[in-house]
Structure 1
Amino acid sequence: MGTTWTEAIGTLPGLWVNSQSQSFLRDLNLRVDALITATIEGRKVMLYTQRGHASGENANTLYLWVTDNNRSFYFGPIAMGNAANSMFVSSLLYSDGKLHLLQQRGNDKGGVISLARLTEELKTIKSTLSNWAQLDASFSASSTPTAGLVGLLSNSASGDAWIDDYRSVNAKVVNAVKVHDGFKFTGFGSGAIWPVNNRESNGPHTFVNYDFTLLATVIVHKVPKNSTTLLGAVLAEPISTLFIGLSYGTDGTWETVFNGETTTSGSTWMPGKEYQVAIMLQDGNKGSVYVDGMSVGSLATLPTPEVRGAEIADFYFVGGEDEEDKKSSSVTVKNVFLYNRPLGAGELRMVKKIDGSMHGGVSRALLLLLGLWGIAALY
C-alpha cells in the first residue's frame, strides 16, 4: 500500500453490474474484491476478482479481471464455491513475477484459508497484454487512433465465432461466409451479433451505454427489395429497440435509425462499392451516423440510460430482412473497430482500411439472430 493516491479518471471498465437492482450495494455477487495494481509486461494494470453474474448458475464462481483502465478482459472461473463451503474473502497477491489467490472459505462449522498459485492465468495475462502492445504498434504506424480502441473484429475466426483481436468478447455469426478480414452475410437469418454488454454472455463493455464509436468497412452487393438494416446498437431484451443504426434503402440512399425511428438521409450508396461507416454515442443521449467520415444524420435527444428502460446489449450486422426472398440482399462487413469514446470527424478518416495480415422495435431478422444466439449460449 503506497502513501500517495492518484485519482484514475473515468470509470472502471469491465465490471458486471445490475443497474436496475435496488439492492446493488448489498449484492455480494456484484461486489469487486481483491483489487490490486501491478506492472506486467511493462504495462500498469489493475487486477480484481468478481463473482459470476447473479442471474445464473455460476453465481458462486469467482472470475479474474484485468484492466489498464482502458481495455479489460476476464477469465475463469478461478475458484468455485457451494452451499456447504462458501467463499467469504478473496485476495490477490502479485510479487516477484508470481500471482497468487488467497481465499478464506467456511461455514458454521469452521473455516479454512488456502493459497493457490495462478501460473496459467498469469501466462494468459502476459500473452494478452503483449498482444495489445503489438496491435497498438501496428495501428500507430498507420496513424490509426488507438486511444480508446478496445475491440476489433477482423480476419480471426473459428467456426461460428468472429474472434475479437483484443481478446475481450467475440461475436457470434449465423449463416455467414468467411471472407478476408470479415464475413459476407446474405439474406434473412444471416448476420452476426457482438454481445459487448449482454448480461447473458457476461459482455464486459458497460461503457457502450454512454460513449462509443463502432466503425466498420462494408459493401452492399445489391439493391434490396425493401429498406434493410445494415448494422446497429440494440437495447437488451425485452425492449430490443434498435437504438442507433444505419440502413440502406431501395432508392440508393442511406437511412439512419435513432431509438427505432428511421430517417432517409441525403447521402447515397452504390452496389459493390466499399464504404467505411460508423455509429456513435456521446454522453448517453447524442447519437451520430457517419459514412466515409461524413455525417449522414444525428440526434441529440436520445433517451438517457436512466430512462431508456434497458442497457445497450449488442451490436449486430444483418444480411437481409426480406423473409420471403432470402437472397434479396447481401452485404460484406469487415474490420469492425470498437472505441470506448466518440471519435472526431478527423479521427474517423484516420482509421485505415487495414489488412488482416498486419495483426493477429427490431426487425424479425434481428430477433431470429438473437434467438439463435440464445440457443447457442446454452451449449
Structure 2
Amino acid sequence: MVGIELEDVSKCYGSTKVIDKINLTIKEGERVIFLGPSGCGKSTTLRMIAGLEEVTSGHIYLGGKEVTPLPSGQRDIAMVFQNYALYPNMTVQDNITFALRANKVAKSEIQERLNSALEMLDLVNYRDRLPKDLSGGQRQRVALARALVKRSKFFLLDEPLSNLDVALRQSARNQLIEIHDRYQQTFVYVTHDQVEAMTMGHRIVLMNKGEIQMVGTPDEVYNHPANVFTATFIGSPKMNIQEVSRQGNLITVGKQELHLSSEWGEHLSQFTSQNFLLGIRPEHIHIYREKVDNSFLAHVSKTENLGPNYAIYVETNSTQWVVISDIRNWQPGEECYLTFEMDKIHLFDVESKESMGYPSFS
C-alpha cells in the first residue's frame, strides 16, 4: 500500500521556486531518507508533508487520502526536529506525554506508552529530570520518545541527529532503526549526511536545487548513479570524473590510451558520441610502481592519511585522480601506473550529465 505520495508538488516563496514539481511514492512502512546539500529543498519537502508549509501547487496524499489542505494536527504524523524543542519547565515524562494529555488519551494508555518509550530509549532513570539536567544525546532521546508515544502512522524526522557527536549519532541511528523495526511506521528522514542515508534507508531520495536527482536503494545510488551529481555526492573521497574520448574499444585518458572491456565496447556502440565523462571511485583504481597491462602513467602529487588507508592524489597530463591505497609510502613526484576496474567505471553524457547506462557483466 502507498504510505505517502507527492504529485507535482511545488513550493515558491514569492517569485522564487524552491521545489519544482516533485513526484514521489513512498510505500507504507518504508524507511526513506531525503538526502542532499544545504538548501536543496529536502526540509521544505518534509515540512510540506507535515503540513507545516503550504503547498504552492500539487497534491500530497497520506495513506491514500489527500491531505494538501489539512492542517498538521489532522495528518496523523509524529515529527522530530533538529532542535529538541522541549519544554524547559517540564520533566522528561511530562515532556513526553504532553500531547497525549492534551488529546485526553486515557491515563492507563499514556502510562503504558510512556513506560515503553522510556525503556526503549534508555530514559527510565531520567524520567523526573528537567531538560537542563540532561546531555544533548539524552535530550534528543526525549524528543524521539515524545514522537514515539503518539503511535502515528507517519514518522517524520528533520536532521534529528546533527547536533550529536559521532559516537552518539551512531548509537541513535541504531535506536531509530530499532524503533522502526518494532512499529513499522512510514518513516521519512532528512539529512545531509550520506553515512546516515546509506546505513538507515531502504531507499534514498537525493535532491539538489529543488529537484529529485535520483531515487534508489543505497546500493543503487552508489553503484549505478543516475547522473554526475549523484555520482559525486555519494562516496568519500568523491568519484573521479574526467572527460575522455573513445575510438572503438580504446579511450584516451590524458593523452594516454586504455582498452575498454568488450562489454563496455558493445554497450557504447549504440551511441554516436565519441566524447563522454568517465567516472570511477577512488577505491576502484589500482596504483602500481611498475607498468602493468592496460595501465597509464601518472605522478603522485600528495597523500592523505584516512586511518585504515590512504588517499593518493595523482596527475597525468591535464587530468587529476584520487586513488585509495593501503600503501603509505608514496612520495610527491613519484611515478606510478594506474589501472581501472572496468566493471566499476561509470559513463555520463557530456552535455546532460546523465548516465549512459551499464552493460551486463558475466
TM-score (norm 2): 0.22
- Structure with greater helix percent: 2
- Structure with greater strand percent: 1
TM-score (norm 1): 0.22
